[in-house]
């Protein structure tokens, strides 16, 4: 596989961009080698600067739930372009987007648009503090909520992939106000809540975690957090930037039947464009400026092109419920195929799976929190990633990232991916 152009672009990038990339995991440090520079994508395929094609399983880290350059989203963007690119003023599409989100997501009565998932989570925490008059928050080890200072304490995903789960530049004051608990450890949450009674503004959680690899909540975990928050007057925030509109039309909260006070959204609501949002109970959202005292603003929030893409995506999902049946079928087929490969090869590695998200962990241990995820053999994962890449399958370049599937994957694609996985596992085990 020739990747000369990608290598040359990476060398140029390192002269002008820190590490040669604009998001750390893209540097491929966790899997070895140099990053692949992408030129275009369509449906289930990525095409790089050297003309190589890859069946891909990350879909821009989640938003391309219908595959790349879906015709409805592309048409919506093209139609919107003729009206100019940005106004810094209200538009009809913002209203239509807000109406659609509040109808589709069970807990959201009002919503504010922003430009990224990070902006959404930062704003939600500030709002929870302003609403409650409290300062502390609880987050979970291995959950990643963007690169806001408060969230880079025991962070997952890119932070742990790069070996720095606590970032320099985060002040001791911020760290002091961020309490951490192991994911799926309800007793730890109870202990923190009791020890800091009256001081905790929010608990923020990925209801299905995707930033230490895919980790599912144990039965009763989310329900228990909901009970604690209700009893203690704590704002419960579900970070559904990844899972919103992917695992169900109304997100994890609809699928699992647990209702948060605030929800953060991103990825799919932009149809691939940079969009985020936070929303929830009317009485809490009324604290956001200009209705209330909690300030948050953004010049490009509600950008007309981004709103056009997001609306096309959400309208499709809203009017085509069969999309979720197909996503479930694709996820089930791939997870079952990968499990079959492991059985044939006599391996006891772990697969976590729900809907159109799954992770293969190179550990024989059950993975239910950050510590168990870290028992994975990341060196072996790197070999597996490279072996799959050589076979034309593009995975997330980190053990600590979930895979995100799309409806663009056909049954033939699925068979190809399963065969590539078997051959890659066989290759790296023989070489080991």
Please, which residues have CB within 8 angstroms of residue 179's CB and are 6 or more apart in sequence?
136, 137, 138, 139, 192, 196, 200
Q: Residue 231 class from Cβ within 10 Å (0-12 exposed, 13-18 middle, 19+ buried)? A: exposed
pLDDT at 432: 60
Q: Considering the domain 4-69+321-431, what is its CATH architecture?
A: Alpha-Beta Complex (3.90)
Along the 432 residues of the chain, how does pLDDT read in single tens digits?
A: 899 999 999 999 999 999 999 998 888 988 999 999 999 999 999 999 999 999 999 999 999 999 999 999 999 999 999 999 999 999 999 999 999 999 999 999 999 999 999 999 999 999 999 999 999 999 999 998 887 767 766 554 444 433 444 667 677 777 788 899 999 999 999 999 999 999 999 999 999 999 999 999 999 999 999 999 999 999 999 999 999 999 999 999 999 999 999 999 999 999 999 999 999 999 999 999 999 999 999 999 999 999 999 999 999 999 999 999 999 999 999 999 999 999 999 999 999 999 999 999 999 999 999 999 999 999 999 999 999 999 999 999 999 999 999 999 999 999 999 999 999 999 999 766
User: And the tokens for 80?
Assistant: 């919107």
pLDDT at 160: 40
The CATH code of the domain at 71-319 is: 3.40.640.10
Please, which residues have CB within 8 angstroms of residue 368's CB and are 6 or more apart in sequence?
183, 184, 215, 216, 218
Helix and strand counts by DSSP (H, E) for the chain: 15, 14
The DSSP 8-state label assigned to residue 273 in this structure reads B
Cα–Cα distance, 350 to 366 (Å, whole number) = 7
Q: Give the global pTM.
A: 0.94
User: And the tokens for 9?
Assistant: 């672009």
The DSSP 8-state label assigned to residue 31 in this structure reads T
pLDDT at 199: 96
- List, by residue number, the catalytic residues: 144, 239, 267
Q: Per-domain residue ranges for the chain?
A: 4-69+321-431, 71-319
pLDDT at 165: 46
pLDDT at 170: 72
């Amino acid at each position: 596989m020739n990747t000369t152009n990608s290598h040359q672009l990476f060398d140029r990038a390192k002269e002008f961009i820190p590490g040669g990339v604009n998001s750390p995991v893209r540097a491929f440090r966790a899997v070895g080698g140099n990053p692949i520079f992408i030129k275009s994508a369509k449906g289930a395929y990525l095409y790089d600067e050297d003309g190589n094609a890859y069946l891909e399983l990350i879909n821009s880290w989640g938003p391309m739930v219908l595959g790349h350059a879906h015709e409805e989203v592309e048409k919506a963007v093209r139609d919107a372009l003729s009206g100019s690119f940005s106004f810094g003023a209200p538009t009809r599409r913002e209203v239509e987007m807000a109406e659609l989100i509040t109808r589709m997501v069970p807990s959201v009565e009002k919503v504010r648009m922003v430009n990224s998932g990070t902006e959404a989570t930062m704003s939600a925490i500030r709002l929870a503090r302003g609403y409650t008059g409290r300062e502390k928050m609880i987050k979970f080890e291995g959950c990643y909520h963007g690169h806001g200072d408060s969230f880079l304490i025991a962070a997952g995903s890119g932070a742990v992939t790069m070996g720095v789960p606590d970032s320099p530049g985060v002040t001791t004051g911020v760290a002091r106000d961020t309490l951490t608990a192991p994911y799926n450890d309800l007793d730890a949450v109870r202990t923190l809540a009791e020890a800091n009674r009256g001081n905790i503004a929010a608990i923020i959680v990925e209801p299905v975690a995707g930033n230490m690899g895919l980790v599912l909540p144990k039965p009763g975990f989310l329900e228990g957090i909901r009970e604690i928050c209700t009893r203690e007057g704590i704002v419960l925030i579900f970070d559904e930037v990844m899972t919103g509109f992917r695992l169900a039309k109304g997100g994890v909260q609809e699928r699992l039947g647990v209702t948060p006070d605030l929800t953060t959204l991103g990825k799919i609501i932009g149809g691939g464009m940079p969009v985020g949002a936070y929303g929830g109970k009317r009485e809490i959202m009324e604290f956001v400026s200009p209705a209330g005292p909690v300030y948050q603003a953004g010049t490009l929030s509600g950008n007309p092109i981004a709103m056009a893409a997001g609306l096309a995506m959400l309208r499709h999902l809203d009017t085509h419920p069969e999309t979720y049946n197909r996503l479930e079928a694709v996820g089930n087929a791939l997870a079952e195929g990968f499990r079959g490969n492991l059985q044939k090869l006599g391996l006891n590695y772990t697969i976590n799976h729900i809907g159109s998200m799954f992770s293969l962990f190179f550990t024989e241990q059950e993975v239910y929190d950050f510590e168990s995820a870290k028992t994975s053999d990341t060196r072996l994962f790197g070999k597996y990633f490279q072996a799959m890449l050589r076979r034309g399958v593009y995975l997330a370049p980190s053990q600590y990232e979930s895979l995100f599937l799309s409806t663009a994957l056909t049954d033939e694609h699925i068979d190809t991916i399963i065969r590539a996985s078997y051959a890659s596992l066989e290759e790296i085990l023989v070489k080991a």
